[in-house]
Structure 1
Amino acid sequence: MEGWMPLFEILMNSAYPEAQASVWLKQHSYNPPSSSSSSSSSSSAYSSSITTTTTSFLSLLTKPTYTTLLHSDGSSQSPHTTRTRRRFMWIQTLPNLLQARLLSFLAFDYTTFSAPELYKLANNLLTSDDDHQLHFWVKTAARQLLDLVSGSNYDWVSGFSLDSEPHNVPEDFQLLPDWLKQPVVDGDSRLVLPWLPLLSHEFNTGMPVDAFGILYDDDSLNKVQQIEDEEDFDTVDFLRMNNDRVNPDIEKMAAILKSKVLNSECTSQVVELADEIQNLCDGRDVNSLAVLSLVEPWQADAETASLLLSHFLNQSSKNLSWPSLVLCSIVLPKLLVLEEPASRMLLTSTIEYCKMHQRSSVYALLYPLILRKNGINNPISDVVARVVKECLHPAHVSSFCQKLLCGEDNARKFVCLPCHQYLISDELVWNEPLFSLFQIILNRNVLLTEDVVARLVYHIGELAIRFRNSLIFGNFLLCLVNRCSRPLLRSHKLSLIRAVEQTNTIVSKSLMSKLSIL
């Protein structure tokens, strides 16, 4: 076990854990001599040594570990306690982060290890009794590893060629289906594609589709075209459209649902309410944004809101933008005005929903929250940090930071009901909770791009005087210097030194000493 500690430290702390772990493994397996006369024997010895090392490593990860669980029958007279012995693999005793990185490393360097052993490891993780308790990223990494090592044998494809005759194939296998025969025989000139019965009047290319899959009808085409003529069409422009597409009947139904939102008292009523809201929004020629604005589901209490989220999590919708609409109409309005720690029940439901709909969680929750007009506060920062840590991969977080700090205005697309647009700003409001959030992101070993680092340094230079006595700002600077690679910071060394010189906190001297050796 002690011999593998350096490898585990690399996986926990390195900015490039998979690549560096692979190099470490090969370096510590065997160092072949440089003599050319023994190149053949060296290669054989190296292959044997690394095979032994990888086998030993997999044996450690799959080593059986036992634990004893106590169960009570709950009897008040004479409670009877039974003992159950459970068997685990040693890897399952590690923290979730280390488990995920170990599996990611095995997938990265899977050709070095025994494929059957890797398959056994990943399969046992996914089929164990505790599969439902696996952390999201552990399960994802295990599935990726399983896909890599469980490839099929496609040798049968090599027997095919353009000249080969198929065997045991029905006579009508290569014939055209009946629905294609007549158009092809007739040679109708109106066909858009000669091999498909698609007439020109059926091929309508003028129907615009937005980034969230919403198809506009002919009546709204002129309105969309007017917006596109004024400026580039993006999500925010679409969401600023007026709610003039709701007919009186739908408006009455929305008013009834609004009353139910405020008066639902049991789970069955909430489930019925959720189905009614979804059915109404999925109706033909219905503006879902307008309907949700009238229903006002964000007015529900925390328990009702969490039940709505849990129910929608298990339901499918033909509306591709439905997950974004759920988040922006139930969760986002509550969090935009959050002044105290969020309800644990609502936060748990939100996390579970965001895990399943990561893209929607970015555009319908994170972007509008961070762009809050008055800046984020500590409760909002805590919620965003939870979503970032538990729902998004570090690569997604890196992309999110790139768009947030360096993207143009039209790159910051987000989803928000028109009635809440006034709560969101077009620019970041820099304050201590925002610095705390970026420190949490950096501590997740998120790799920031060069332009993101440059943008952060620029804001640090502007804000140093304003936050000169802020320990939170100082800790953020210290985290940035410690977490970012030296090549990225070296070109900004003088700018950072000038900024640190303006601060007056207990970490200022430590910052200066670290910057001096860049």
Structure 2
Amino acid sequence: MEQWVPLFDIFLNSPTPEIEASLWLHRSFNVSSTLPISAASFLSLLTQPVDSVADFHDRVMFIQTLPSMVQSRILAFLSVEQERFCSVDLNRLCRRVLSEGCGVDFWVQSAARDLLDKLSGSGRQWVPDLVLGSDESRVEIEFKSLPGWLKDAVAVATDEVVLPWLPLSHDELNSRDLISSRDTEQQQTSLTQVGENELYNWKDVAEGMDIDHSENDVLDPEMQNMAARLRTRLMNVDSGSKTVELAEEIRELCVDSKADSLAVLGLIEPWKVDDESAAVLVSHLLSGSDEELAWPSHVISSVILPKLLALERPASRVLISSVMNFCKLHERAAEYGLLIPLLMRKDGINNPICEVITRIVKECLHRAHVSALCQKLFCGKEGERKPICQPCHQCLISRELVWTESLFSLIQNIMSHNVQLTQDTVDQLVHQVHNLAPRFSRSLKFGHFLLCLTKKFGSLLHSHKPLLTESVAQTNTLVTKSILSKLESL
């Protein structure tokens, strides 16, 4: 693994990862050492099974453990340099990524589909330019290009070893679905399971993301009565120990009984308790094994989110502590159940909310995750940033970003945190600057945002220089001249 660290560093930090990764792979090519570096070994690393900490996955591919931005960059690199890699392996990788459904980031899905489309329509022959001269690699290529009839042969085989040159026993081969070259012409809907992994059913997640969901339509009367009794007890709780007991009962009702947890929490109304009780609820409703998206996002959106949506003054220390602990353990749930709803707040974010989100970004999230979140907010489709929240809080959340001075301050904080924004994100920011410059012409926060944008991402602004100059000229702040000077030097 150590020999690949420089390559993954390129995918994580480089503004042009495809070019730099290609050059690195050429320079570092070596199949004779004990740690070979070749196209085949890189693809083998990406598809290597890794034990998962999640209950719904026994094993996942190594690439699936990487941040979404890194995954999309790797897939884009494979798409550009597809001639170097075995088409069967690339096909298997793409179909495996797409088989995760809505659990996969939008940009990862797009990159995988793009690569799969190129593989299906190119009609080319694979040219292993990085593995020529390697007898071991040729054997691997031959193995991975098995004909489609092999699976039928396995079904009737009686010997312990199916073929003398095949390094798999009968039981091992029978436990996996092999994808032959003819699968590249099939529709993407025929997603094939590879290896020993079980596909996770994201139905619960999709239901959890439906903010128009009606709880009374899915809960039987007995369940509603139990939730109502828990609500009464929770509103009258007078000690931390009793709150812990109630949290265990709520968890049992929502999780162990397989009920619609979002609907049950909607009837209990846990967001009405004080901050201290809310912190106790969050910590005890969740356990260390809660790695799926649905339940943690339901908890945070039902207990903490309503408090932050109504925040008009700095949040209490106990509330902040609870939020930070949650976000460090459940990044994806925090994204859909907390960050996106807050950023899509109907009145726009204010200073107290900006401070909370800034702390989450700096202390809880990986920079690549923040970059992917920004791209989803500014460039993604409406469905990609659909929040998870209670139906009764839908009126507090907008379908579009509401631009405020605090939002510009937040983006400035993100850029100052050395988050590498994509070209698409920068393009959208420039578009918004052009539209909003007259409205924020005297805003110093808007000016500082523009100054930070030109300093941090000057290399991505060359094509926008005339438009930005025109927009900045409409402002009248202490930093206007500094921004114009910076633009002039681009």
- What's the TM-score once normalised by structure 2's chain length? 0.59
Change (3 A) 1:286 1:510: same
Whole-Å Cα distance in 2 between the matches of residues 313 and 250 of structure 1? 21
Shift of 1:312: 3.1
SS at match of 2:263: helix
SS state of the match for residue 403, structure 2?
Answer: coil
What pairs with 1:282-431 in structure 2 (closer than 5 Å)? 282-284=255-257, 286-316=259-289, 321-431=294-404
Separation in structure 2 between the aligned mates of residue 208 and residue 316 of structure 1, nearest angstrom: 17
Q: How does 1:96-495 map to 2 (within 5 A)?
A: 163=164, 209-210=202-203, 212=205, 236-237=209-210, 239-284=212-257, 286-316=259-289, 321-486=294-459, 488-495=460-467
Correspondence for 1:76: none
1:506 and 2:471 correspond:
no
Q: For residues 285 and 396 of structure 1, do their structure 2 counterparts lie closer, same or farther at Cα, with a shift above 3 Å needed?
A: closer
Instruction: Return the letter of the residue paired with 1:330.
Output: V
Shift, 1:163, TM fit:
3.6
- Give the Cα–Cα distance (whole angstroms) in 2 for the partners of residues 213 and 385 of structure 1: 28
The amino acid across from 1:280 in the alignment is L
For the structure 1 residues 263 and 445, does the alpha-carbon distance in structure 2 shift closer, same or farther, using more than 3 Å as the test?
Answer: same
Percent of aligned pairs with the same residue? 49
1:468–1:505 contact (8 Å) kept in structure 2: yes
1:315–1:243 Cα change, 3 Å: farther
Paired with 2:344 and 2:358, the residues of 1 have a C-alpha distance of: 15
Query: Who is 2:100 aligned against?
Result: none
Unaligned residue ranges in structure 2 (runs of 5+): 1-8, 21-139, 141-160, 173-198
CA distance in 1, matches of 2:243, 2:375: 39
Q: What secondary structure, in the 3-state scheme, does the structure 1 residue paired with 2:393 have?
A: helix
| Counterpart AA for 1:362 | E
| Alpha-carbon shift at residue 243 of structure 1 (Å) | 2.6
Q: CA RMSD in A?
A: 3.3
- Larger relative contact order, structure 1 or 2 (CA cutoff 8 Å, min sep 6): 2
Equivalent pair of 1:239/1:416 in contact (CA under 8 Å): no
CA contact (8 A) 1:239 1:415 kept: no
Gap change, CA 1:406 and 1:479, over 3 Å in 2: same
Q: Provide the residue aligned with 2:151 in structure 1.
A: none
Distance in 2 of aligned mates of 1:357 and 1:482: 33
State how far apart, in whole Å, the 1-side matches of 2:205 and 2:166 are. Answer: 46
C-alpha displacement at 1:175, in angstroms? 8.7
SS at match of 2:392: helix
Task: State the Cα distance separating 1:438 from its structure 2 match.
Answer: 0.3
Deviations along 1:414-448, one digit per CA (max 9) or x if unpaired, are 20111111110011111100000000010111111
Change (3 A) 1:375 1:318: closer
* Counterpart AA for 2:315: A
Q: Residues of 2 paired with 1:420 and 1:336: CA distance? A: 9
CA distance in 2, matches of 1:331, 1:375: 18
- Deviation, 1:239, is 4.5
Shift of 1:315: 5.0
Q: Letter of the aligned partner of 2:408 in structure 1? A: F
Distance 1:211 1:477, change over 3 A: farther
Q: Distance in 2 between matches of 1:421 and 1:470?
A: 30
Asked whether the 8 Å contact 1:270–1:307 carries over to 2, the reply is: yes
Q: 3-state DSSP class of the match of 1:374?
A: coil
Displacement, 1:265? 2.2
Q: State the shift of 1:341 in Å.
A: 0.7
Q: Which residue of 2 aligns with 1:183?
A: none
Q: What letter corresponds to residue 223 of structure 2 in structure 1? A: I
